[in-house]
Amino acid sequence: MQYRRVCLESLGYTLPEEIVTTDELECRLDPVYQRLQLPHGRLELMTGIRERRFFPPGTLPGTIDIQSGEKAIQASCIDREHIGALVHGSVCRDYLEPATACGVHHGLELSSDCMIYDVSNACLGVLTGMLQIANMIELGQIRAGLVVGTECGRQLVENTIDRLNTDQSLNRRNIKDFIASLTIGSGSVAILLCDEELSQTKNHLTAASIVAHTDQHHLCRSQGMENFMSTDSEQLLNEGVATGVATFGRFLEATDWRQDKIDKTICHQVGIAHRKLLFEALDLDTRRDYSTFETLGNTGAVALPLSMALALEAGHIQPDERVAMLGIGSGINCQMIGLHWQESRVLGELPTPEQVSS
């Protein structure tokens, strides 16, 4: 997929205030740790995750979507009347129906002509929404579109802790299937894309590549963020990296970029082992990458774009740089997007009325 008229104009994000350390989680896991004689500190050592954040219990993703979406709109300076599509792309949703995007559409006061729907694609949902909106813009069907997503991982982590402490059938071997659930965190992001004529930043989306390696779809299964997740972490890691390698070859062809000419990368945030193995396999320099799993954990479908927003805010990405968004999700699916960056517009906090008036 190649693009000529699509720009990534702005991002908005919302981080939960509550921080929960891995050390705290392991203290809560003391019953199973003692029973199986597991050493304290192994979870952080295995994953590289020191902490993660959680929204308050009972938080509906759509309510946070509205906050992040409003930030992205304000950062873009684009009239919301131009937004012709709204996609909610995270794993977490408010209800089975209606679409979470409906409440977000109402909260953001978007046009009645705006197409709205939810996309479900595990950790690639937000990126999938980006590509769908990019395609609509490239075809001239809409002038701008907004992708939102909010992951609320608290219930999954807490349910997993309860299960590990009470299930006497668990042993040192099969407990590994639950480790991935303990890496989950919460966060929210919104991405606004528009056509070149509307854009003030000229952050061109150049190309994208996808690979569906679905013969491995059984390696990670979940009934939702509020229920249990079973993951063959080791096999998923190996198969995911192999799928990433296959996609990266197609990505270089689609973008017509040389590997050593990629200035910056943003990857899906899983943990230290995934990052190390993937970047070795792709022969990419981790110093060009920006990681957030250390303090945010794995925030599902928002992990990559949220890391992108934080990387931009930190000045990691500079004008005239080639940026590769490297997305890998269970299924196994892989999507990679190339951007030629120029100007960063990111909003993490809404301005006060005094700031607006000034």
Tell me the catalytic residues. 97, 123
Smallest CA-to-CA distance from 10 within 350, 312, 314 is with: 312
Report whether 219 contacts 232 (CB < 8 A).
yes
**CA distance linking residue 318 with residue 264, whole number of Å:** 9
Whether omega before 16 lies within 30 degrees of 0, making that bond cis, reads no
**CA distance linking residue 161 with residue 229, whole number of Å:** 12
> If 0-12 CB within 10 Å is exposed, 13-18 middle and 19+ buried, where does residue 198 land?
middle
For residue 2 the two structure tokens come to 């190649």
Q: Is 78 helix (H, G, I), strand (E, B) or coil?
A: coil
* Three-point CA angle 23, 274, 27, nearest 5°: 10
How many C-beta neighbours within 10 Å does residue 117 have? 16
Residue tagged 């807490």 (tokens): 158
Look up residue 184 and give its amino acid.
I
